[in-house]
Amino acid sequence: MMSDRIFVQIAAYRDFELIPTIKDALAQALCPERISFGICWQYANDEELHFIDGLKDIPNCRVATVPAAESCGLGWARSQTEKLWQGERYALQTDAHMRFATGWDTLLIEMLAMCPSQKPVLTAFPPGYHPPRIIVSNFPTGTATGRFAHNGMMTPRAVEDLSNYHAPKSGAFMAGGFMFADARLMQEVPHDPLLYFSATEVAYSVRAWTNGWDIYHPHRVICWHYYYETQEKPRPLNWEDNQDWYQRHIISEQRFRQILQMEPMTEDFGIYGLGNVRSLTDYEAFAGVSFRNWQQYIKDEQQRAMQLLSGCLQVYFDETVSDRLQSLLNDDKDYSRLVQIDWQYFVHVASELGVLSLAYWSLNKTAPHLVPESTLRELQQYYYANALRNRSHSQVLLHLLNQLATAQVTAININEPALAALVDGDLSLWPFQTLDLWIAARDRATATEILTAAGYQPGEIWQLGQQSFTHPQRAVKIELHWQLLGWEWQTERLCKVELENHTIQTLPPRDYLLLLCISAAKIGWERSLLKVYQIAALLARYPSQPWEDLLQQAEQMTAKEAFLTGIWLTNQCFKTALPTAVTQCLETMPEISAITIPWLGASES
């Protein structure tokens, strides 16, 4: 075996950073003569095939060329590079888009010798660069457990600045774009050609560790990786070029789960299975993870997301909740925690429940620096887009109300625009998806004529006393009501609010309480977190209500259970006071307090 030669193995998929990467590796090496390359070049056409002609003048550069249509994924391509090894002592697995530190070859050999192990591997997620050689970040990091996806896949993440360490730090996970070890690693733990892409790093980490290899993270920066963060020059990807990629992906996922005993094994994986020097149980104890419990991790992370969402809404009513929010967010920054906030789930649920703007408002007010930058940016973009949309819809509403008033039709807005004006005047916190107008039954024909003349097209009447109108150029939908909960049309019952510097009429708070509870019960409480929040906001602004009269009215409308459920949920979620009359009624209806809703459980945690 060549005493100090380094075999650099690169799986390159149509990547035009390949030649700059190789040239930089040679230019920055203290002893370039000891470097050899094994490259699996996957190309799409003749032009790409001949791109690597630029490597002909580089000594010890071995290339396997493969048409992109015949490529079987990352694990397969890396297994091809292993076949190009010719006895070099060390092996460096890296990507085709890298830049290297001066003297990287000597640094790696020296740091490998510093590791207190007979079989060490140096690995890390390198900091970033932009071509041609613009360094984006410049500190070494370790790795930690990542988040389990719905299919059981898990990608490690970069954590902790290791700049102050004096030797490589022990770790549990490898990064496929940078691994350096004695070349025996390739022989003892060859790459599995059937692992397509997302499963490769974790599976390889566990296989290597159970074969007796110890993982270390360099305390000095050895190289930089191009993460393609900009959209200027997107890199071609295997799954974009190959129609059968999904079948390979599914097979790979199943193989990953079976190798790590996340599901029953259906075959013997042989050399691609786990080693017998140390057990999977030993690895799990060392890494602080249980692959068998991956589904529980997902549930726990979603629960933390729901706890955060609940806290975000509670901040509006109780600023002391900010401390709990910050604690939850600070915990998420602790890389040693396995269960963290599932931010993707947080955004999804907040969007589905109509509280995305409220979530942003709370997080931005409480601790924006603790929210992942990409998530905060996504929430912020939605918040401002929603605010602009709501103002536009409010202007549409005011224009329609004016047109109707000119025709002697009194129309009352009975949903979000007027409700927001009634509560606090902030039009940015709730989505205005429809404009609901209540009119006297006698004015239905006139109102329909005015809406039609304005370009709105009437839909079918699906509910008694209600009709939808849509406009081909406007996103907002009009819901026209001439019957509302059996209430008699009485303008005397109305109150006035200010909307965009205009005075309009709307329902009084007591009527909104009934309307919101009945509406939420109709669409389902599990989908009505926003309405429960709106009930709480009304009670915070108008705490004195005629509770006996409201309960009697709800009973007459056969809506007593809906009303009590809404008030009880508001108390459970937002700690609003339960009036004595409501408490007494709840004691006779225990089924209400037994209700099970995902977001309710989060608020109690």
Residues 68 and 213 occupy one common structural domain: yes
pLDDT at 134: 95
Between CA 115 and CA 122 the distance in angstroms is 9
Per DSSP, the three-state class of 469 is strand
Q: What is the model's pLDDT at position 319?
A: 87
For 492, other C-beta atoms within 10 Å of its C-beta total 4
Q: Are residues 450 and 556 in the same domain?
A: no
CATH number at residue 88: 3.90.550.10
Residue 516 reports pLDDT greater than 60? yes
Query: Which SS3 state, helix, strand or coil, does residue 574 take?
Result: helix
Do 139 and 195 fall within a single domain? yes
The DSSP annotation for 317-374 comes to T-TTHHHHHHHHHHHHT-TT-SS---HHHHHHHHHHTT-HHHHHHHHHHH-GGGS-HH
| Alpha helices (H) along 211-342 | 238-241, 245-259, 280-287, 294-314, 321-332
Q: Is residue 454 domain-shared with residue 357, that is, in the same domain? A: no
pLDDT value at 514 more than 90:
yes
pLDDT of residue 293: 94
**Is the per-residue pLDDT at 500 higher than 60?**
yes
pLDDT band at 225 (very low <50, low <70, confident <90, very high): very high
Compare 560 and 597 and report the one with higher pLDDT. Answer: 560
pLDDT in tens, 97-143: 999 999 999 999 999 999 999 999 999 999 999 999 999 999 999 99
* 8 A C-beta contact, residue 599 and residue 533: no
Q: Does residue 415 sit in the same domain as residue 481?
A: yes
In a domain, 514, yes or no: yes
Dump pLDDT digits (tens) for 290-311. Answer: 999 999 999 999 999 999 999 9
pLDDT of residue 603: 58
How many residues are listed for the chain in this entry?
A: 605
Confidence of residue 600 (pLDDT cuts 50, 70, 90): confident
Query: pLDDT category, 230, cuts 50, 70, 90?
Result: low
CB atoms within 10 A of CB 388: 11
- Per the domain annotation, does 204 fall within a domain? yes
**Using 50, 70 and 90 to split pLDDT, how confident is the model at 93?**
very high
Question: What residues make up the domain containing 451?
Answer: 379-507
In a domain? residue 306: yes
Q: Could you tell me the pLDDT band of residue 601, with boundaries at 50, 70 and 90?
A: low
What's the sign of the alpha-carbon dihedral 268, 270, 275, 277?
A: positive
Give the pair of three-digit tokens for residue 137: 């970040």
Same domain, 138 and 203: yes
The reported pLDDT for the residue numbered 243 is 84
Residue 557 to residue 523: CA distance in whole angstroms: 17
User: What is the phi/psi pair of residue 117, to 5°?
Assistant: -155, 150
Predicted confidence (pLDDT) per residue in 147-173, tens digit: 899 999 998 989 999 999 999 999 999
Q: Looking at the structure, tell me whether residues 6 and 82 fall in a common domain.
A: yes
What is the spatial distance between Cα 337 and Cα 145, in angstroms, rounded to a whole number? Answer: 8
- Among candidate residues 340, 371, 402, the one where a domain is terminated: 371
CA-to-CA distance for 462 and 443, rounded, in angstroms?
Answer: 19
Quick one: DSSP state of residue 314? H
pLDDT digit string, tens, across residues 31-86: 999 999 999 999 999 999 999 998 988 999 999 999 999 999 999 999 999 999 99
Q: Is the pLDDT of residue 525 over 50?
A: yes
Residue 597 vs residue 398, higher pLDDT:
398
> Pick from 123, 130, 109, 239: which is nearest to 171 by CA?
123
Give the model's pLDDT for residue 63: 97
Cα angle 172, 178, 180; round to 5: 80
0.95 surpassed by pTM: no
Residue 343 and residue 409 in one domain: no
pLDDT of residue 283: 97
Q: Is the pLDDT of residue 468 over 70?
A: yes
The single-letter code of the amino acid at 39 is I
Average pLDDT value for residue range 16-20: 96
The Cα–Cα gap between 379 and 363 comes to 9
Any domain includes 264: no
Three-state SS across 369-404? HHCCHHHHHHHHHHHHHHHHHHHHHHHHHHHHHHHH
Weakest-pLDDT range from 148-152, 235-239, 298-302, 435-439: 235-239
What HEC string does 120-168 produce?
EEEECCCCEEECCCEECCCCCEEEECCCECCCCCECCEEEEECCCCCCC
* Numbers of helices and strands, H then E, in the chain: 23, 21
Among the three residues 507, 538, 562, which one is the final residue of a domain in this structure?
Answer: 507
User: How much of the chain, in percent, has pLDDT values that exceed 70?
Assistant: 98
Same domain flag for 390 and 501: yes
Q: In this structure, what CATH number is given to the domain that contains residue 400?
A: 3.30.460.40
Q: What are the tens digits of pLDDT across the range 408-422?
A: 999 999 999 999 999
Helices within 424-528 (DSSP H only): 444-453, 509-523
Question: What pLDDT does 109 receive?
Answer: 98
301: in domain = yes
**Confidence check: pLDDT of 426 > 50:** yes
Residue the block writes with tokens 């970033």: 128
**Section 214-241 average pLDDT:** 86
Considering the domain boundaries, does residue 138 fall inside one?
A: yes
- Please state, for a pLDDT cut of 90, what percent of the chain lies above it: 86
Q: What phi and psi, each to the nearest 5 degrees, are found at residue 207?
A: -60, -45
| The pLDDT of residue 147 | 86
Domain end, chosen from 507, 529, 550, is at 507
Distance of CA 581 to the CA centre of its chain: 43
Residues 48 and 194 in one domain: yes
Could you tell me if residue 127 is inside a domain?
yes
Could you tell me if residue 281 is inside a domain? no
Same-domain check for residues 34 and 146: yes
Query: What's the pLDDT at 1?
Result: 47
CA distances, 188 to each of 121, 211, 244 (Å)? 13, 8, 30
- The answer to whether 237 and 245 have CB atoms below 8 angstroms apart is no
Number of domains into which the chain is organized: 4
What does pLDDT average to over the chain? 94
Q: Note whether 389 and 363 are same-domain residues.
A: no
- Side-chain half-sphere CA neighbours of 521 within 13 A: 21
H/E stretch holding 468: strand 466-471
pLDDT at 406 over 70: yes
- Residues ≥6 apart with Cβ < 8 Å to 52: 18, 19, 39, 41, 43, 63, 65
